[in-house]
Amino acid sequence: MKKETPTVLLARSIHWPLKVAMGGNVCSTDAIVDFCDRMLKVAEFSDYPNAHNGLQVANSGKITCLGAAVDANRMSIEMATAAGIDMLLVHHGLFWGRSLPISHRRRENYKLLLDNDIAVYSVHLPLDCHPEIGNNALIMNELGILPIQHLPCEHGFTMPIGKYNHPRKVLKETLEVLFPRIIELEFGDVDIGRVLVCSGGGGGIIAAMENISFDCVITGEAPRHFFDFAYEHGLNAYICGHYATEVFGIRALAQKISDKFNIPWFWIEENCPL
């Protein structure tokens, strides 16, 4: 049975306008890496073990087209290959936790990248909490939440708390437009005051907090005991999907690079429901 090639989508979004440069410019890999490292302050974050923020795979040194995806996985690599992309920008890179042999599926992923001269640049926590193009900042902006405080966490990471001036009914309706699916845990007041936003797997971090200064949580993913945490603290909580809450920052990063170097970029949609 022939394997169907995933569709590569030209960068676009229903949530905010995006410009795509379509010139024939050539940029050096080093210039883009330096631009990203400086803007995102990569060196200031320890991140999770072996996350390796920055350039993870080098190419021959020239970039004419970028691809942006949440994950560096087989799907995004195949789509990048099909689109003729020279650099893949991702939020979740190739390396996590312990070192593993380059065999089986991992070998095939690396082979596709090297055979097609595709560089990989990954940025995790520095992108999550960037004040302008971070996942959390962009989600808050979409929802009309005004940042008023940042809670420090481990690995140099911070989580923003913002002021919201509408009832939870309005917030839920907006979330249902912004995200393909949400899980609501509405144990708080109908009027929301202070909202904590943490994209991705923030629920586990939040549920470990002893003292809280917010009455609503928006996150991507949460463990089972987060339900108890929300109930016991009388919170309104909205779980919107790990993947869905982390598309914002990497697209904004690609747009920044495109604007700076006048090179085109493509959005690689994985349609991950988790």
Q: Domain extents for the chain?
A: 9-126+246-267, 135-244
Q: Provide the pLDDT for residue 101.
A: 77
Asked whether this chain's domains 9-126+246-267 and 135-244 adopt the same fold, the reply is yes
Q: Over 60: is that where the pLDDT of 56 sits?
A: yes
* Nearest C-alpha neighbor of 251 from the set 91, 28, 54, 131: 91
Q: Provide the pLDDT for residue 6.
A: 38
User: What is the average pLDDT across 109-136?
Assistant: 95
Q: Which of 5-9, 73-77, 124-128, 194-198 has the lowest mean pLDDT?
A: 5-9
Question: Are the beta carbons of 87 and 60 closer than 8 angstroms?
Answer: no
Count, residues in the chain: 274
Q: Provide the pLDDT for residue 156.
A: 72
Q: Over 60: is that where the pLDDT of 36 sits?
A: yes
**More confidently predicted of 212 and 217:** 217
Q: Provide the pLDDT for residue 92.
A: 96
For residue 37, the SS3 value is helix
SS3 content of the chain, % helix, strand, coil (to 5): 35, 20, 45
For residue 57, the SS3 value is strand
Q: Provide the pLDDT for residue 24.
A: 67
Which amino acid is it at 38?
Answer: R
CA of residue 92 relative to chain centroid, distance: 8
What pLDDT band is residue 29 in, cutting at 50, 70 and 90? very high
User: What are the structure tokens assigned to 253, written together?
Assistant: 């990063």
Decide if domain 9-126+246-267 falls under CATH 3.40.1390.30: yes
Residues pairing with 237 in the sheet: 185, 217
* CATH code linked to domain 135-244: 3.40.1390.30
User: What is the average pLDDT across 15-19?
Assistant: 35
Query: What are the backbone dihedrals phi and psi of residue 171, each rounded to the nearest 5 degrees, phi first?
Result: -60, -45
Tell me the pTM. 0.89
**More confidently predicted of 20 and 99:** 99
Q: Is the dihedral of CA 146, 46, 246, 14 positive or negative?
A: positive
* Nearest C-alpha neighbor of 260 from the set 95, 61, 70, 21: 21
Measured between alpha carbons, how far is 191 from 254 in angstroms, rounded to an integer?
37
Question: Are the beta carbons of 122 and 13 closer than 8 angstroms?
Answer: no
User: For the chain, how far is it from start to end, CA to CA, in angstroms?
Assistant: 27
